[in-house]
Structure 1
Amino acid sequence: MQLHKRALVTKALEILDNYGLADLTMRRLARELEVTPGALYWHFANKQELLGAVADDILAPVCSPAQAADWQSSITTLCSRLRDALLSHTDGAELVSASFSTGQSTAVSAVLERLAEAAVDAGTTPARAELAARTIVHYVLGFTGDEQSRLQWDAAGALPAEQSVFDPAAAPGAAFDFGLSLLIDGLAVQAAASAPTRDRAAN
């Protein structure tokens, strides 16, 4: 059969959703497609590159254009979309985190760019904007990774009842929003604190 990169990514995403990241290997992907593992390397040099392409597919809805009233809304909307996208696939946060660490995902780079732009709009210096963006992405990946782990443990009946993610008191969405608001408020305070320094430098 003739292989196309789109078909490889689609099948890899199917394996991810059905079996999890641990079972998403080049060998398993080749077996599912009924080809030799070597055939996959015409399209992807290694597994990291494949995972980057899968991450881009997962994050496609995150990068669609969105109108925001201000920089706070821009960050909130983008991060909410990111969390939703990660939660829509088994081990989504873990896979995207791995691609983020190895720099294999163009979609993650686009998310970072938009968050950095929002940080600059907040008054952060361009030199610190990317660091602010990375801090926010680390928060979303970390929170959602923990959330997905709890979901899996709860589904397996291994999570104590008082820690169940389905307990209304747990409210992971509200907890996520609270943590994100702390980052946004901190960004505003940090930008305001550095404003006098920037003004003196400009004069």
Structure 2
Amino acid sequence: MTSKPQHTPPRVPPLSRATVAETALRLLNETGLDKLTVRAIAQELDVKAPALYWHFKNKQELVDEMATEMYRRMTGEGAEHPAGDPDLPWRERLLLANRSLRRALLAYRDGARVFSGSRFTGTDHAAQTEAHLQGLVAAGFDLPQAVRATSTAFAYTLGFVTEEQGVHPAPGERREGYDVAERAARMADYPLTAAAGTQLFEDYDTHFEEGLQLILDGIAARYGIA
């Protein structure tokens, strides 16, 4: 008498903060932040929603972990990030850091909204922050100046991408109502406002770079650092 073959069920990764955050980031691109629910994440992980509350007390705690995971990916092995180079000039340091941040945010639908106001979990980011501040101090900033320069450039990038994703929620996608030609026709009685549409809603790469240079020029002028 032969026994029936045993079928081993597929192995499900153990539920953890990391697996929940990774799943949430994957679903974020499908649903956007407003429609990202604990129930949907639990269904994707094939668990009941209460199981997730062992790891996160509420959605904001989950969003904090999502932002932290985004940062880990932005600064992980193989990522272009300036913190590891102590000899990098301060302008290049801030340029690279904020370009890297923008790329990371644009990789996710509502990426800027996830990052905005979130609190990093753990201390994974501390080594990168320390190296970054050391580089600025070595370039002639005192610590308060280094912090203000960093946070001002960061706030610019975060705000820029928030507006950019308001028009382009995902690559190749454009929200209805942001057709520049149609907008110009509606604003025909206000010629400067009509013409400003191309500066507001097109060629985001160029406009981001110009705005970032304005921030850096202001930092140099304010603190007298070449």
1:20 and 1:113 map into 2 onto residues whose CA distance is 33
CA displacement, residues 44-74 of structure 1 (integer Å, 9 cap, x when unaligned)? 2332221122112222343245446311111
Counterpart for residue 78 of structure 1: 97
In structure 2, relative to structure 1, the CA distance for the partners of 1:139 and 1:62 (3 Å cut) is same
Q: 1:113–1:130: 8 Å Cα contact kept in structure 2?
A: no
Quote the offset at 1:122 in angstroms: 4.1
1:9 and 1:121 map into 2 onto residues whose CA distance is 36
Q: 1:72–1:118: 8 Å Cα contact kept in structure 2?
A: no
TM-score by length of 2: 0.70
Quote the offset at 1:151 in angstroms: 1.0
The unaligned stretches of length 5 or more in structure 2 are 1-11, 184-197
Secondary structure at the counterpart of residue 10 of structure 1: helix
- In terms of fraction of residues, the more helix-rich structure is 1
Counterpart for residue 170 of structure 1: 202
Counterpart for residue 185 of structure 1: 217
After TM superposition, what 4+ stretches of structure 1 lie above 4 angstroms from structure 2?
Answer: 102-115
1:51-200 equivalences under 5 Å are 51-64=63-76, 66=82, 67=85, 69-99=88-118, 102=119, 104=121, 113=130, 115-152=132-169, 155-162=174-181, 170-192=202-224
In structure 2, relative to structure 1, the CA distance for the partners of 1:143 and 1:109 (3 Å cut) is farther
The unaligned stretches of length 5 or more in structure 1 are 194-203
Q: Which has the larger radius of gyration?
A: 2
Q: 1:143–1:176: 8 Å Cα contact kept in structure 2?
A: yes
TM-score by length of 1: 0.78
Q: 1:147–1:172: 8 Å Cα contact kept in structure 2?
A: yes
In structure 2, relative to structure 1, the CA distance for the partners of 1:107 and 1:138 (3 Å cut) is farther
Aligned length: 189
CA RMSD of aligned residues (A): 3.0
In structure 2, relative to structure 1, the CA distance for the partners of 1:107 and 1:115 (3 Å cut) is same
Quote the offset at 1:133 in angstroms: 1.6
Q: Which amino acid aligns with 2:164?
A: E
